[in-house]
C-alpha cells in the first residue's frame, strides 16, 4: 500500500463525525441552526475531541461516530471563544489519538493535508500547501493573531484536522474562504495543546482576562466599518445599535478599521459602558452600549 494512503487512513481513523442538537431557544440557533454537524479530531488517550466551537455551541445533545460506524455520546467539556475551539469528552471510545504537531514547525510552501467528515463514517481528504500564517479578523467580533491559510479546499464538514506531511496535527479547519490561493483557514493546534490542562480542568481559558462583547456583526469596507447584523438579545441590540450604522468613534478614539474597533472594545471588561458614535441617516448619533460577556450569553 502506498505510504501516503496509509497516512491518510491513520489520520482518518483518528477523526469522528460530530452531530449536535441545539434547542431552538438558544441564542445561537437563529444564526447557526439547531441541528449541526462537523468533524472532530481525537487528541489524547482519554478520547478528548477537538472541533470548532460553532458546531457545538449551545448543544443539548452531542453524538460522535467513528470511521467504523460506532456511535458514542459526547459532552462539551471546554469552549474557547477567543480561538474558536471546543473540546468534547467521549466516554468509552477507543479511537486512536492524532500525533501532536506544531504549526510553528511548518512555513509557507510546506505540504499539508486535511481529512474531513462528510457524514457518519465517510471521510474525504484534500492536500495543498500552507500559504501564510497571517492574522485574521472576522465579522463576528473575532480575531486570530496567527491563522493558517492553506490552498486545500475543505471537502467536508468544519473541524477537520489539518496535518503536516508527517501526519501530525497542526490545525483545526474552521472556514472556507473561497479566495484564490487561500481556500481555507485553520486554527493552529497550539490553541489547544498549550492550554489543554486549563481547558480540560476549568472548561475555558480562565487565565485570560474576560473582555467586553457587543454582539454585532461588522462589515469592513475600505473607508468605513458598518454594523451588518445584531444578535437578538445581545448588548448591541438592547442598547440601540441599528443595522446599517457606520461606526465612527469609540469613546474619543476614531474608528479606523474593524480590528482596531475590536481591540478598543476588548480593552474594556463585561459590564463596562462603551460610548459609540455612529453615522445614521446622515447624522452623527451617540449610542451607549453596556457590554456583555459572550461566554455567559451563550452558556444559557
**N residues, the chain:** 300
pLDDT at 300: 66
Model confidence, pTM: 0.95
Q: What is the pairing mode between strands 61-65 and 246-250? A: unpaired
The class that CATH gives domain 99-193 is: mainly beta
pLDDT at 4: 81
How confident is the chain (300 residues) per 10-residue block, as mean pLDDT? 84 98 95 96 96 97 96 97 97 91 96 96 97 96 97 97 97 91 96 97 94 97 95 96 98 95 97 98 97 93
In whole angstroms, give the CA distance from residue 122 to residue 201: 32
pLDDT at 93: 80
Give the angle subtended at the CA of 89 by the CAs of 7 and 23, to the nearest 5°.
Answer: 115
For domain 216-297, give its CATH number from 2.30.42.10, 3.40.50.410, 3.30.70.100, 3.40.190.290.
2.30.42.10
pLDDT at 104: 96
pLDDT at 2: 78
Residue 44 CB contacts under 8 Å (≥ 6 apart), including other chains: 97, 196
> What residue has cell string 470548532?
52
Q: Which sequence spans correspond to the domains of the chain?
A: 3-96, 99-193, 216-297
pLDDT at 161: 98
Q: What is the CATH number of domain 3-96?
A: 2.40.10.10
pLDDT at 1: 52
The terminus-to-terminus CA distance of the chain in angstroms comes to 50
Per CATH, 3-96 and 99-193 having the same topology is answered: yes
Amino acid at each position: 500500500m502506498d505510504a501516503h494512503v496509509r497516512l491518510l487512513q491513520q489520520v482518518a481513523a483518528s477523526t469522528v463525525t460530530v452531530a449536535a442538537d441545539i434547542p431552538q431557544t438558544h441564542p445561537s440557533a437563529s444564526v447557526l441552526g439547531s441541528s449541526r454537524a462537523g468533524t472532530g479530531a481525537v487528541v489524547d488517550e482519554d478520547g478528548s475531541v477537538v472541533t470548532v466551537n460553532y458546531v457545538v455551541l449551545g448543544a443539548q445533545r452531542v453524538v460522535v461516530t467513528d470511521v467504523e460506524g460506532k456511535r458514542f455520546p459526547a459532552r462539551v467539556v471546554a469552549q474557547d471563544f477567543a480561538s474558536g475551539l471546543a473540546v468534547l469528552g467521549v466516554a468509552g471510545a477507543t479511537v486512536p489519538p492524532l500525533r501532536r504537531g506544531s504549526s510553528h514547525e511548518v512555513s509557507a510552501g510546506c505540504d499539508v493535508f486535511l481529512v474531513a467528515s462528510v457524514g457518519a463514517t465517510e471521510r474525504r481528504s484534500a492536500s495543498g500547501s500552507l500559504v501564510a500564517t497571517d492574522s485574521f479578523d472576522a465579522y463576528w467580533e473575532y480575531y486570530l493573531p496567527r491563522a493558517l491559510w492553506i490552498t486545500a479546499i475543505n471537502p467536508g464538514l468544519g473541524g477537520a484536522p489539518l496535518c503536516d506531511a508527517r501526519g501530525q496535527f497542526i490545525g483545526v479547519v474552521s472556514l472556507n474562504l473561497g479566495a484564490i490561493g487561500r481556500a481555507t483557514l485553520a486554527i493552529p493546534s497550539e490553541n489547544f495543546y498549550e492550554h489543554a490542562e486549563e481547558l480540560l480542568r476549568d472548561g475555558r481559558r480562565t487565565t485570560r482576562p474576560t473582555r467586553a462583547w457587543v454582539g454585532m456583526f461588522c462589515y469592513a469596507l475600505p473607508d468605513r466599518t458598518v454594523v451588518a447584523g445584531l444578535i437578538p438579545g445581545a448588548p448591541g441590540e438592547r442598547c440601540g445599535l441599528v443595522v446599517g450604522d457606520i461606526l465612527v468613534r469609540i469613546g474619543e478614539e476614531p474608528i479606523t478599521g474593524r480590528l482596531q474597533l475590536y481591540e478598543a472594545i476588548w480593552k474594556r471588561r463585561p459590564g463596562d459602558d462603551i460610548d459609540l458614535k455612529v453615522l445614521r441617516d446622515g447624522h452623527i448619533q451617540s449610542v451607549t452600549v453596556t457590554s456583555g460577556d459572550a461566554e455567559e450569553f451563550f452558556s444559557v
